[in-house]
Amino acid sequence: MSIRHLMAVIRKEISHIIRDRYTLFLVLFSPTLLLVLMAYALSVDLKNIPIAVLDHDRSQLSGQFVGSITAGDDLDLFTFAEDLDEVEYLLESGDIKAAVIIAPDFSTKIRAGEGVPLQIIIDGTEPESGGFAVDQIGLRAEEFVTEKVFGGGQLGVQAQTIELVVLPWFNPSLKSRNDLIPGLLSIVLGLPAMLVALTISHEREHGTLEQLLATPVSRWEILLGKMTPYLIVGMANVVMIPILAIVWFGVPFNGSFGQFFILSAIFMFSILGMGLVVGVFMRTQSAALALSFLLIFFPGFFLTGIFFPIVSMPEIMRMESLAMPGTHYGIITRGVFLTGVGIEVLWPYVIMLFGLGVMFSFVAGLFFKKKLD
């Protein structure tokens, strides 16, 4: 082996990395960024789970009980609901993950030492948060009865006093795949965005993009032309993948497929716009692939609420998750599949998806023009 030849190749590769500042940035800082992302996401401790309370008793004792179960940062009281219809709407819209129903004779039965059923309704589309809420409410209920009512009585007494009745809505069996598979759609349907980024960077790397610019085709027409084929392929998957989920995995589908198809088209527009941004900034395929994994694929797993509840993430991570199309689409898919809601409930997430798509497309068009002038 010739050391001189080896050093020549090494100098060439170092020069290549230094000349492309985007590749240099990825080589130097992507491991650090990925470590921060995964460290925050994988070490999430469940907390700040939003709950509602439907208090039929409305006594001083029931008010103290609500204050007891919402003390600390494990559970956050979102609102006092007026009736079950409001509880249902809050669960469908994702504003709360659990609801506590306090019976009309709550205070009377507790003072009499009788068994009191405490009904807890949880959102079955996110069983981790719902199960955590049940555990915390049960623990706080026992502590409340022991410390406030019996003045430190024995555990055997409190176990006979509070009877938890848990009702999982929208996913009664609490099967994990019923919750997981609709959420995964935001990842698998986002893969065409990576291909868009690779296509643009491939054309720039091989010099064919300049040839295309020599034609009368405008830059916006180029970007739209690059996006459209992948949009068509993505929409074909929007039809095939839900059928696979329903037939093969037995995931329930309770919503309107027509609305789901339209909302999925908005998601595809948004995520493909994100892919265009990556392709516009990256000059080589390798750099585009690395940035696509860093900005599209990995955040799709860790920041979109599929595996880890967004409400329990640090504030900076929650803000970042709002910029991910998969976050809003994951809520939409679970809403359509499991709760059967439509645009009347999901419209805030639809607006966010469309707004992100417009923003990504605008940024791609703006910098695509500047980089080629």
CA 350 to the chain's CA centroid: 14
Judged against a pLDDT cut of 50, whether residue 153 lies above it is answered with no
pLDDT value, residue 354: 95
Residues of the chain with CATH 3.40.1710.10: 49-169
Closest CA to 299 of 161, 165, 220, 194: 194
Please name the amino acid found at residue 278: V
pLDDT value, residue 148: 61
CB-side exposure of 121: number of CA atoms within 13 Å? Answer: 20
pLDDT in tens, 40-92: 666 566 788 899 999 998 888 888 889 888 887 888 999 999 999 999 999 88
pLDDT in tens, 80-138: 999 999 999 998 888 899 999 998 888 888 777 677 788 999 988 888 888 888 888 88
User: Pairing state of beta strands 98-102 and 116-123?
Assistant: antiparallel
More confident residue, 120 or 157: 120
Helix (H, G, I), strand (E, B) or coil at 120: strand
pTM comes to: 0.78
Q: pLDDT band at residue 6, thresholds of 50, 70 and 90?
A: low
User: Pairing state of beta strands 98-102 and 49-55?
Assistant: parallel
- CATH fit for domain 49-169, picks 1.10.420.10, 3.40.50.150, 2.40.50.100, 3.40.1710.10: 3.40.1710.10
Q: Is residue 201 within 8 Å of residue 286, measured between CB atoms?
A: no
pLDDT value, residue 24: 63
Q: Is residue 97 within 8 Å of residue 133, measured between CB atoms?
A: yes
Poorest-confidence range of 130-134, 155-159, 298-302?
155-159
